[in-house]
A and B are shown apart, each in its own frame.
Chain A
Amino acid sequence: GQQVMQIPQYQHVQEGEDFTTYCNSSTTLSNIQWYKQRPGGHPVFLIQLVKSGEVKKQKRLTFQFGEAKKNSSLHITATQTTDVGTYFCAENTNAGKSTFGDGTTLTVKP
């Protein structure tokens, strides 16, 4: 079945540094969603990308969908301690079946 690979698994940054996580697939993705899970919490939907080459921004977060729709990235500019958590990408079929990446866990040192 469809597999969504996410890298890196862990990322440690100093507060103020940038952070990027990548989501890759060997096959074309119909869409990509990004979620954030705070330590001890539940995943929270951030955004969905559908179009080839799509770029969306939410304040310091920039989401991109590759031209070939086989990869996506989430970039955080000037990280803050509130950005700590695990970031997941996911693909969902129109029928509802979803596949999540294993996530990237971000820690931020003040």
Chain B
Amino acid sequence: DAGITQSPRHKVTETGTPVTLRCHQTENHRYMYWYRQDPGHGLRLIHYSYGVKDTDKGEVSDGYSVSRSKTEDFLLTLESATSSQTSVYFCAMGTMPYEQFFGPGTRLTVL
């Protein structure tokens, strides 16, 4: 959706390396989310944020950390990437928690 971008869009990395994915929004939305999407699993929530410096864990948060120092940016970090973290990662935003606008996604491959 317009107003939300993700970078990089594609990344290939090696097991054990740190990886940071960036989500940037220009809509001043309070809520931001990180999901991963894998075949047969739909969208699974990793972490979400309900304000600057306010974050909480989702259902698949192990191995991931997030930071939100500004309203517009929500960073997802894989401290030491593993092959099981190969996935498509979507960021989303919303003014209310129930209507989410998704970014274009980042395809991450961990070799």
> For chain B residues 51-77, which have a beta carbon within 8 Å of chain A?
56, 58-59
Structural contact, B42 and A95, CB atoms closer than 8 A: no
Taking the complex as formed, is A39 at the interface, i.e. its CB lies under 8 A from any CB of chain B?
no
Hey, which chain B residues are within 8 Å of A6, CB to CB?
Answer: 42
Give 1 or 0 for each of B63-100: 1 = CB within 8 Å of chain A CB.
00000000000000000000000000010100001111
**A residues lining the B interface (CB < 8 Å):** 1, 6, 31, 33, 35, 42-45, 48, 88, 90, 92-103
Structural contact, B1 and A96, CB atoms closer than 8 A: no
When A43-B102, A44-B1 are in contact, do A97 and B58 touch as well, CB less than 8 Å?
yes
Structural contact, A99 and B99, CB atoms closer than 8 A: no
Structural contact, A33 and B99, CB atoms closer than 8 A: yes
Hey, which chain B residues are within 8 Å of A102, CB to CB?
Answer: 40-42
Chain B interface residue count, Cβ-Cβ cutoff 8 angstroms:
27
> For chain B residues 15-68, which have a beta carbon within 8 Å of chain A?
31, 33, 35, 40-45, 48-50, 56, 58-59
A8 to B107, CA, bound (A): 27
A90 to B44, CA, bound (A): 11
Hey, which chain B residues are within 8 Å of A1, CB to CB?
Answer: 59
Offer 26 A-B interface pairs, CB within 8 angstroms, sorted by A.
A33-B99, A42-B1, A42-B90, A43-B43, A43-B90, A43-B102, A44-B102, A45-B100, A45-B101, A48-B99, A90-B43, A92-B97, A92-B98, A93-B97, A95-B50, A95-B97, A96-B31, A96-B48, A97-B45, A97-B56, A98-B97, A98-B98, A99-B45, A99-B59, A102-B40, A102-B41
